Amino acid sequence: MSHISFSIGGILYLTLLLVVCIIKKVGKSKIENKVYLYLVVVALIGLIIDSTSFLMILTSVDVHNPFYILLSKLMLCYFEAWCFLFLLYMIAVLLRKQNQQKNYSKYKVILFGIIFPILIILNLVLPIEYNVSQNQIYPMGISVVICYLNAVVGIIIMICLLLKNKKYIKDKEFLPLWIVIALSMLTIIIQIICPGIILMTAVEALETFIMYFTIENPDMKLINELNIAKDQADKANQAKSEFLSSMSHEIRTPLNAIVGFSQALLEEDINEEAKEEVKDIVMASNSLLEIVNGILDISKIESGKIEIVNTEYKFKDIFDELVILSKGRLGDKPLEFKYSYDASIPNVLYGDYTRVKQVILNILTNAIKYTKEGYVDFKVSSIIKDDICRLIISVEDTGIGIKQENISKLFSKFERLDLDKNITIEGTGLGLAITKKLVELMNGKIVVQSVYGKGSKFTIAIDQKIIETQVEILEEKKEIKEEKTIDVTGKKILIVDDNKINLKVASRLLQKYNVITEEVESGFLCIDKINSGNKYDLILMDDMMPKMSGIETLKKLKEIESFNIPVIALTANAIAGMREKYINEGFTDYLAKPIDKNELNNIIYKYLNK
């Protein structure tokens, strides 16, 4: 009775499985999925034949009844069909892995066009006998032996096939196949030892189930496909980031020459007209640099690579710096720049100094850009709760304003609004997209209020932790914003760069300090100089050099006993996070190309003015 209940249960389950497979269109994707559908159908037919013949025995039908004999022979055919289909399934999986799907029909013809029909004919023609003892009735004879033989040969072929394709064996996809093979082997052994226990149909139904919930599960397949698609997208994104970073490097290198030589020219005694033109060159190069940085920032944010690096900082320093920068950007516009700073803001805060400055500078620059006359009002206040200071930064202008319907588009990348009015104003439409993403990364908020034609007000709220002490540490880190008179006359600086123009730019910018500069074009030459006893006060080292990079050169230098010269990474690899990278690699400090004269001044002051 348990046998019949199992068969009927199995029929119900397999029917359900078949319906699910059809609804989920399992057979429509790959060849093996189609074969799997046949496997389900054949397993179902097997269970139906099995239960029918069992019912006949229960109702005392004689084993010599021709219909019963036919059912027994069909049972053997079913069993062979299932084994063949499973073998074909495995071949289909392997062919897919090897990208050889075109060979599939060849195997199908050999298995189902030639061997299977021969076995069917043998099954039908050869006689079948029955062992009838006590409560057991089971078929035996030559056709049953052929059937078992066929299963054993099939299993051997499957194992050989899997072993031959060793490189895929560790693939998770093959685990269910191994389980099915192991189960089948076990069943055949049990079946040969105790032929009375008819296990075949039950095991094959079970194996068909196992396959559905593992290798054939459409949801798992979907997840697999999604994972593959995700991997591909990640790789593409990675390639994009690498491309952008190398483009940024390539653009920065010639820009270094343009900015460097122009800055040096500005300090020369040239006529006013030429000076104005050189100033324009510097300004144009700076906007080009801003565009490069903007594109890099947005691509880093999108690939989730931007990190918020929190440190202690003085907000007042940022405020002062922003005021100086904004005043510089007013140019000759008839604009009043108002600013106010709430004295209740704690002295030292903990947050991402660079990003806080970047977002405020973005909205300040926009306010100045999009306002012809009137004022720009920059206000910072704070709300303090426990050890958190909520900075409320607002920038209000009397500029062109933003149409209500455009406010929702404001923070989308590459979205520039009101182009008929703005066409002459330089911009990429990236600034606010970056600002919003960065503010959100810092768990802050940005809101905008605007009246078209009258002006706009951007407000940013960011929470920063309050640090009460350690003001002294900051004092040490504080950078100099204005040029100080530095006397470093006669100090020796070694510049290492494979690019001759870059060498010229650096030594040109250093000229005004009355230092002695030496230039070498590779890491090897730099090491030679040190090894032959030359003494320097500072080394400026490019990183991306052929044969031996700056990082490798530095490692070799550090191996030299008593080497203690400060080495500054001077590099066009200037995306965010690079400073930390170079400092971690052992560089004393970092200077981005194009070289900013104030930054260079800071470095000289910090390392030579001792």
Instruction: Kindly state the smallest distance separating residue 290's Cβ from ligand ADP, in Å.
Output: 9
C-alpha distance from residue 37 to each of 41, 86, 110, 378, 384 (Å) = 6, 11, 20, 69, 66
Task: Give the footprint of ligand ADP on residues 410-429 (CB under 6 A).
Answer: 410, 416-418, 422, 427-429
User: Nearer to ligand ADP by C-beta: 203 or 410?
Assistant: 410
Q: Which of 437, 346, 337 is nearest to 390 (CA)?
A: 346
User: Which one, 399 or 550, has the nearer CB to ligand ADP?
Assistant: 399
- Name residue 340's beta-bridge partners: 379
CB of 372 to ligand ADP, least distance (A): 11
Contacts of 577 (CB under 8 A, 6+ apart): 307, 309
Bridge-partner residues for 465, per DSSP? Answer: 350, 388
Q: Which is nearer to ligand ADP, 297 or 397 (CB)?
A: 397
- Tokens for 454? 């009258």
Rounded to a whole number of angstroms, the minimum distance from the CB of residue 342 to ligand ADP is 22
Pairing of the two strands 311-314 and 348-351:
antiparallel
Which one, 330 or 417, has the nearer CB to ligand ADP? 417
Residue list 428-467, contact with ligand ADP (CB under 6 A): 428-433, 456
Q: 549 exposed, middle or buried (CB, 10 Å; 0-12, 13-18, 19+)? A: middle
Question: How many degrees, rounded to 5, is the angle at CA 404 between CA 463 and CA 326?
Answer: 50
C-beta closer to ligand ADP: residue 348 or 356: 356
Task: Provide the 3-class DSSP secondary structure of residue 465.
Answer: strand
CB nearer ligand ADP, residue 17 or residue 410: 410
| Residue 199 or 417 with smaller CB distance to ligand ADP | 417
Q: What is the DSSP string of 186-248?
A: HHHHHHHH-TTS--HHHHHHHHHHHHHHTTT-HHHHHHHHHHHHHHHHHHHHHHHHHHHHHHH
Comparison of 174 and 411: residue with beta carbon closer to ligand ADP: 411
Binding to ligand ADP, residues 351-410 (CB under 6 A): 366-367, 370, 397, 399-402, 410
Q: How many residues bind ligand ADP (CB under 6 A)?
A: 21
- Give the Cα separation of 439 and 456 in Å (integer): 19
Smallest gap from Cβ 397 to ligand ADP, in A, equals 5
Comparison of 25 and 416: residue with beta carbon closer to ligand ADP = 416
Bridge partner list, 591? 570
Spacing of C-alpha 322 from chain mean position: 34
Shortest gap between Cβ of 238 and ligand ADP (angstroms)?
A: 26
Report in angstroms how near the CB of residue 418 gets to ligand ADP at its nearest.
5
Q: Counting Cβ atoms within 10 Å, is residue 159 exposed (0-12), middle (13-18) or buried (19+)? A: middle
Cβ proximity to ligand ADP, 285 vs 456, nearer residue? 456
| Helix segments in 103-165, DSSP class H | 104-108, 116-125, 142-164
Token pair in block for residue 379: 């206000």
Q: 449 in helix, strand or coil? A: strand
- Would strands 374-385 and 388-397 be described as parallel, antiparallel, or unpaired? antiparallel
CB nearer ligand ADP, residue 402 or residue 545: 402
- Kindly state the smallest distance separating residue 423's Cβ from ligand ADP, in Å: 10
Q: Does 290 bind ligand ADP (CB under 6 A)?
A: no
Residue pair 502/520 in contact (Cβ under 8 Å)? The answer is no
Cβ atoms < 10 Å from Cβ of 608: 18
Supply the minimum distance, in Å, between the C-beta of residue 339 and ligand ADP: 16
Beta carbon of residue 299, minimum distance to ligand ADP (angstroms, whole number): 15
* Distance in Å, CB of 498 to ligand ADP, minimum: 35
In angstroms, the CA 391 to CA 104 distance is: 67
Q: Least distance (Å) from ligand ADP to the CB of residue 37?
A: 54
Q: Which residues bind ligand ADP (CB under 6 A)?
A: 366-367, 370, 397, 399-402, 410, 416-418, 422, 427-433, 456
